Structure formats: C-alpha cells, structure tokens
Amino acid sequence: MRLKLLSPGEMNESQRQTYDESIAGKRGKPPAPMMAWLNSPDMARHATRLGEVLRYDTIFPAKLSEIAILVTARHWTAHYEWYAHKRLALQGGMDPEIIEAIRDRRTPVFNDPKGQMIYDVAKSLHEGHGVEKGLYDAAVKVLSERGVVEVIGLCGYYTMVSMTLNTFEFELPEGEVPELS
C-alpha cells in the first residue's frame, strides 16, 4: 500500500463526516477506494454517493450491472476490484462461466440479451473508446436510453475505482491470490 489509510480517529471533521455517511449508507461500510479518496474529502463524498447509486439504484439487477464492473476490472487488471466484484457477481446469480470468460478475455456466452448488450457496450467503451452508431442503436433498443447511460456510468465510475486501487496498490485480503494476469 502506497498510501497510509486513516483510521476514524485520525480523520479531520470533513473526512469523518464522509466516512460516517458511508457507514450509514446501503453498503454499511466504507468502500475500499474511499479510504484513499478521503485525502480529498469532497471528492470522496461525491464519488461514494455516485458509487452507491450505481451499485444499488440502476435499472439493472446485480447479475447484470456486475458484467460492466467485471469487464472494467479486467480491462484495468484491477486485482482488488476483480476479487470484490467476482464475489458480488456470484452472489447476484451470475453464471460462473461468464466470469471465467471475462477473466480469460474470451467473449462469454449469454442467455440474456441484456447481459450480452451490457458486455458489448462495456467492451466497446474500454477498447474502442466509445460506442459506434449500430451498437448504440441496438443498445438503446435492448437496454433503454437510461440503461445505456447507466452502463457508461458503471464503466466510468469503476474505471476510477480501478485506477485508485491500482495506483495505491491495495492488497488483496490475506490468503487471496490474484486471478488476473
């Protein structure tokens, strides 16, 4: 870890308010990257609020939103992010074969057109730096305009999360080994 993470007793008032707000939220605990973001308390507050919305309040159930998150974690080879969200994807009902395919950089086989479209949009955003017209039009039909906006939000937010975790070298919990190469 490149950064000393503050304990609640070491935080200034602004940091502590953000920390306390995160504990009172739907997660019930502070998300790991927020502990680094607390060096910029306003950023931490807004980013954590956005993360909560994207994690719990999109139109997608967890097994679908986790597709975008895992594609993002794989794109950034974000070991901590992969570790955390693989478990959440499994808890949300995602097929383990889809997770393995994303990990191995293979195109997964989906039995749900929404899952396929989220995967296609997320891959296009990361690899193509946007979404070409044909894919965009198809995505709006399958996911709705709100759904496309939320997939972009998931990919963008979890890019920031992945960059944070990678830059500050967040370590996996004891006994866990990286799954991404």
Structure confidence by residue, pLDDT tens digits, 104-129: 999 999 999 999 999 999 999 999 99
Structure tokens at 72: 């993002």
Instruction: Give 5's Cβ-side CA count (13 Å radius).
Output: 16
More confident residue, 28 or 102: 102
Model-level pTM? 0.94
- Residue 34 CA from chain centroid, whole number: 13
User: For residue 30, is pLDDT > 90?
Assistant: no
CA-CA distance, 72 to 40, in Å (whole number)?
Answer: 24
- Exposure pattern of 67-93 as b/e (b: 16+ CB <10 Å)? bbbbbbbbbbebbbbbbbbbebbeeee
The pLDDT of residue 171:
93
Residue-level pLDDT at 147? 98
Q: Residue 1 has what pLDDT?
A: 82
Tokens of 171: 């370590």
Residue 177 is predicted with a pLDDT of 94
